[in-house]
Structure 1
Amino acid sequence: MTLLLQDLRVPLDVEGASPADLASHRLGVRLEDVRVVRKSLDARAGREPVFIYTLEIETSPELEDALLQGKRRRQLRQPKPAPPAAVPPDDRAPLPGRPVIVGSGPAGLFAAWGLVRAGFRPLLLERGPDVTARGVRWHAFLKGGAFDPECNLLFGEGGAGTFSDGKLTTRIKDPRVGVVLDVLAEHGAPESVRWLAKPHVGSNALPAIIRRLRRGLQAAGAEVRFDTRVDDLIVRDDRVLGVRCGDETIDTGALVLGVGHSARDTLGMLLEHGVQAEAKPFQLGLRIEHPQALVERWQYGRSCGHPALPAAEYSLSSRDRSGARMDVHSFCMCPGGEILPSTEKPGFLCVNGASPAARDGAFANSGLVVTLEPSSFGADPRAGMALQEHHEAAAFRLGGGDFGAPGQRVTDFLARRVSQTLGPTSYPLPVRPALLDEVLPDGAAEALRAALTEVERRMPGYAGAEAMLVGPESRSSAPLRIARDEHTLESPSHPGLYPVGEGAGHAGGIMSAAVDGLRVAEALALRFAPGAVAAE
């Protein structure tokens, strides 16, 4: 029999005890078969940090009854059964041609994983190189090499998250989250990703996991082609029948489009075909950086430096209840990390954050962003991308035209003056003094100033002499959403097209994009049986 022991609060000095010892001590009976289901850290201000566990306990029926009637019964419950998996009907028509997946980010990879599990042999097309070649070329660029529009922080095997942070946190409540975490753990992610409240892989560890996952897909019958950009759709009577890659035409019965939020050329091509889409809200702002030691003091207080504590991180928001300014919130906070150039073509610059697995760098950085509504930039699905490019072009110019970044001390940003000197930063290319108002939309700079002033009162030093800003942070989410049917997940305007993941506006982050890929695979498997191509 199985029980869950919840809200088990473990002081720092007890951290490291075995799950069996923790459960036995709490319940007053010796238990042996115990495993961690969830672990989080409560480090709220004014309290000593404690870890909070949920443990799964295997017991006899007699002991379960005794525990459920004992003094700790309020902390115990029986686990909920897993929801039943949908069973495909026997009368499914075969899919006319193998499924083709565009993009090897989390949405594309997990769509491929779900389709392979259902008996299909999908073809996965990736415009950039495999993750090994990508890593070599990307790091050569950071050391002064040539920029490659098809191989960068955004394009290549694994998608935009491969060399960024590897955060596996998500706010969605979907049983497929557990599936994604299990698959990642089976392919080399730490076992702890299955149960940590804020799982993290790290920018240095994620590439090897992606490589193993791709090789597993290939062994199961999927075909993967790198350096293969989709240039156009093959459309007849508004039905998508295939894609054109250079001089090659590839037919398909289902085109799963998981290109990511930065494939603006591909998204523009879809709109030229009249694929139904709409503008959606997106985030834009700056990236702020502090010494990691300062973040440790904010978060952990007197416990700062305790060996049981992980690298400190924060999440914050600054809201104006009057509505006079835009709300500000942090995004993708990277403890012990670095700031990186995140763009796909020369002439434009935006930045993002990353952390290695150990999170042991000297700096911590986070996005500070506002949310822009379509009412502020236009209802045309292209309008948000145009606004992003406008500010990214300004950043490229202010940064010196060589992928250097415009920067400003926070104290100077608050005073509306160009910094005479800049503090140290983790950005691997030059950072040059600039007025960062010039890379922000109307109202955003004043909202950020108000938020920085407010947060400084809560976290002294947040807007102090050691704080640096670079920008813009403009790729946190897609500015458009490609329409799809609620049940089939197929484009209502172009049957045969299945928009998926972050670039299609249906996800935000690694986990939700991967879950969306699984959803599309399940939807296809419920409608179609593997066709003749899949059975070869």
Structure 2
Amino acid sequence: MYVTKRYDVVVIGAGPAGIFTGLELARVGLSTLILEKGRDITSRRCPINHHGSKCLRCKPCDILCGWGGAGAFSDGKLTLTTEFGGVLDEYMDKNRVAELIEYIDQIYLDFGATTTVYGDDKKEEIRRIQRIAASADLNLIPARIRHLGTEKCTEILTRMREYLDDKCEIRTNTAVEAIIVENGEYAGLELAGGERIESKYLVAAPGREGAEWFSGQAAKLGLSMMTNPVDIGVRVELPAVVMEHITEIIYESKLVYYTKSFDDRVRTFCMNPYGEVVNENNAGLITVNGHSYAEKKTKNTNFALLVSKSFTEPFKEPITYGKSIAKLANLLGGGVIVQRLGDLLDGRRSTPERISRGMVEPTLKDATPGDLSLVLPYRHLVAIIEMLEALDKVAPGVNSRHTLLYGVEVKFYSSRPRLSPVLESEITNFFAAGDGAGVTRGLAQASAAGVVVAREIIAREGKSS
């Protein structure tokens, strides 16, 4: 192993947490290296989007990896609330988290984000929807949402990349093999080919796709780990008009339900009005997600229904559990499976003919018609069916037999190390941030986490921003 260079700070991952760490550090002149295993943002190309082909299982996946992280081609929603989108409020006061979200929101505006924010007005309409939801045992958590849109999000992240180009060193297509700790202290990183990079500070912000790698590194280093609930479910697609009375007011409605059968928590996640369903390649596993654009619109709305399940002793591998379910879906369907709700309830698989006769035209064209009851555990299926019945009372038509269910959707952020209020691990000068570290679950709090870490490093160096 040979040492090539030493920096003040090395950041693993160029998603929102890593980028905002870099933006904040750029103000004070510390020598900073950002490492990203995926490609640069101008080189990221998904074959499905550009050639109309099926998922080619690229490694790494251009949708999830590269400059901007999974957020680069997401629908680009900034959830301007402390109520969801991460657990930063477990490390610091909620007022502090709110201040950080306001701060990063202004930076997104400076780089070209839209000034439109959903949920700023129409308070009475929101309360009316909350009352209807409550009568169906649903808790509607309102939030201010700044919707960037998939194409605009990419533009903003490109501008951030250009801004940082001469302020720090950025290396894409560079995977980190191992985090090196010597005599109980952080010492550096090993890259492919035996190259060693050294720095005083390390910020690990690997993103969701790197969650398993990060948890593996943490285990090797002997870090104490906390287990988050594992989120597994389906993506629902239906005519946009069904949800229009909600999405036009709130844009993304966060609805939480506790099942009558098992008291499991189910929630809506990542709602995409007039959007499209997409594949994600998680290290060879094909899962499902959704996007929505600022200008291009479809006739459908899609959102995830995620069932949260916490595990107790002796099981400590929630990511492995989620991946095993995704593997089963891939085994049976060759990728993502799609099923009409009516077929699921009737105990039969969907076929291409049954899908074509339905009222909802799938936006994910290469999903395989099949039977999700062969994939999802019974407990999860019951939770999803109960949730759809409850949602139908708020938005009649959700529980239609024509509604499409795509599976599976899994969120790989189920393990996180024990961290201090400034997100420092048990190893001095080794910080962790973002979705892959299990701290955040979206653009806003991931960006805020990067600011928290950078400001602490700046303070320790006696610098002034």
- Contact conserved, 2:46 with 2:63, CA < 8 A, in 1? no
Once residues 136 and 474 of structure 1 are traced to their aligned partners in structure 2, the CA distance between those partners, rounded to angstroms, is: 20
Q: Does 1:129 align with 2:76?
A: no
1:396 corresponds in structure 2 to: 330
- TM-score w.r.t. the length of structure 1 is 0.72
1:260 corresponds in structure 2 to: 207
SS at match of 1:316: strand
1:103 CA displacement: 0.4
Match of 1:316 among 247, 250, 255: 255
Once residues 237 and 256 of structure 2 are traced to their aligned partners in structure 1, the CA distance between those partners, rounded to angstroms, is: 16
2:301 corresponds in structure 1 to: 364
SS at match of 2:186: strand
Q: Does 1:109 align with 2:46?
A: no
2:171 corresponds in structure 1 to: 225
2:140 corresponds in structure 1 to: none
Amino acid at match of 2:73: F
Judged with a 3 Å threshold, the aligned counterparts in structure 2 of structure 1 residues 185 and 343 are, in CA distance, closer, same or farther, namely: same
- Contact conserved, 1:182 with 1:194, CA < 8 A, in 2? no
- Contact conserved, 2:47 with 2:53, CA < 8 A, in 1? no
SS at match of 1:343: strand
Once residues 467 and 412 of structure 1 are traced to their aligned partners in structure 2, the CA distance between those partners, rounded to angstroms, is: 10
Q: Give the gaps of 5 or more residues in structure 1.
A: 1-95, 301-308, 531-536
Amino acid at match of 1:283: D
Query: Pairwise CA RMSD of aligned residues?
Result: 2.4
1:463 corresponds in structure 2 to: 399
Judged with a 3 Å threshold, the aligned counterparts in structure 2 of structure 1 residues 259 and 471 are, in CA distance, closer, same or farther, namely: same
Once residues 256 and 149 of structure 2 are traced to their aligned partners in structure 1, the CA distance between those partners, rounded to angstroms, is: 25
Amino acid at match of 2:420: D
Judged with a 3 Å threshold, the aligned counterparts in structure 2 of structure 1 residues 136 and 394 are, in CA distance, closer, same or farther, namely: closer
- Contact conserved, 2:215 with 2:416, CA < 8 A, in 1? no
SS at match of 2:163: helix
Judged with a 3 Å threshold, the aligned counterparts in structure 2 of structure 1 residues 142 and 179 are, in CA distance, closer, same or farther, namely: farther
Judged with a 3 Å threshold, the aligned counterparts in structure 2 of structure 1 residues 136 and 448 are, in CA distance, closer, same or farther, namely: closer
Identity of aligned residues (%): 28
1:145 CA displacement: 6.6
SS at match of 2:165: helix
- Contact conserved, 1:126 with 1:157, CA < 8 A, in 2? yes
- Contact conserved, 2:64 with 2:281, CA < 8 A, in 1? yes
1:527 corresponds in structure 2 to: 460
1:165-204 C-alpha deviation (Å, 9 max, x unpaired): 1000143142121221121121122233599631110111
2:448 corresponds in structure 1 to: 515
**Which of 1 and 2 has greater Rg?**
1
Q: Does 1:452 align with 2:388?
A: yes
Mapping of residues 7-406 of structure 1, within 5 Å: 97-135=7-45, 139-140=49-50, 143-144=53-54, 146-172=56-82, 173-192=97-116, 197-219=144-166, 221-247=167-193, 248-263=195-210, 264-296=212-244, 298-299=245-246, 314-320=253-259, 324-346=262-284, 348-358=285-295, 360-375=297-312, 379-380=315-316, 383-399=317-333, 401=334, 403=335, 405-406=336-337
Once residues 198 and 21 of structure 2 are traced to their aligned partners in structure 1, the CA distance between those partners, rounded to angstroms, is: 18
SS at match of 1:191: coil
Judged with a 3 Å threshold, the aligned counterparts in structure 2 of structure 1 residues 515 and 465 are, in CA distance, closer, same or farther, namely: same
Mapping of residues 402-417 of structure 1, within 5 Å: 403=335, 405-417=336-348
Once residues 312 and 171 of structure 1 are traced to their aligned partners in structure 2, the CA distance between those partners, rounded to angstroms, is: 14
Once residues 441 and 528 of structure 1 are traced to their aligned partners in structure 2, the CA distance between those partners, rounded to angstroms, is: 51
- TM-score w.r.t. the length of structure 2 is 0.83
Judged with a 3 Å threshold, the aligned counterparts in structure 2 of structure 1 residues 353 and 378 are, in CA distance, closer, same or farther, namely: farther
1:419 corresponds in structure 2 to: 350
Q: Does 1:500 align with 2:433?
A: yes
1:495 CA displacement: 2.4
SS at match of 2:437: coil
1:238 CA displacement: 2.4
- Contact conserved, 2:55 with 2:279, CA < 8 A, in 1? no
Once residues 133 and 507 of structure 1 are traced to their aligned partners in structure 2, the CA distance between those partners, rounded to angstroms, is: 27
Number of equivalenced pairs? 414
1:326 CA displacement: 1.6
1:359 CA displacement: 5.9
Once residues 244 and 429 of structure 1 are traced to their aligned partners in structure 2, the CA distance between those partners, rounded to angstroms, is: 41
1:185-233 C-alpha deviation (Å, 9 max, x unpaired): 21122233599631110111111111110111123x2111110111111
1:271-306 C-alpha deviation (Å, 9 max, x unpaired): 22323322111321111000112322x549xxxxxx
1:466 CA displacement: 2.8
- Contact conserved, 1:258 with 1:504, CA < 8 A, in 2? yes
Once residues 450 and 160 of structure 2 are traced to their aligned partners in structure 1, the CA distance between those partners, rounded to angstroms, is: 14
Judged with a 3 Å threshold, the aligned counterparts in structure 2 of structure 1 residues 371 and 378 are, in CA distance, closer, same or farther, namely: farther
1:316 CA displacement: 2.8
1:425 CA displacement: 4.2
- Contact conserved, 1:276 with 1:483, CA < 8 A, in 2? yes
- Contact conserved, 2:64 with 2:209, CA < 8 A, in 1? yes
Judged with a 3 Å threshold, the aligned counterparts in structure 2 of structure 1 residues 141 and 526 are, in CA distance, closer, same or farther, namely: farther
Q: Give the gaps of 5 or more residues in structure 2.
A: 1-5, 83-96, 121-143
Once residues 378 and 359 of structure 1 are traced to their aligned partners in structure 2, the CA distance between those partners, rounded to angstroms, is: 48
Once residues 505 and 312 of structure 1 are traced to their aligned partners in structure 2, the CA distance between those partners, rounded to angstroms, is: 26
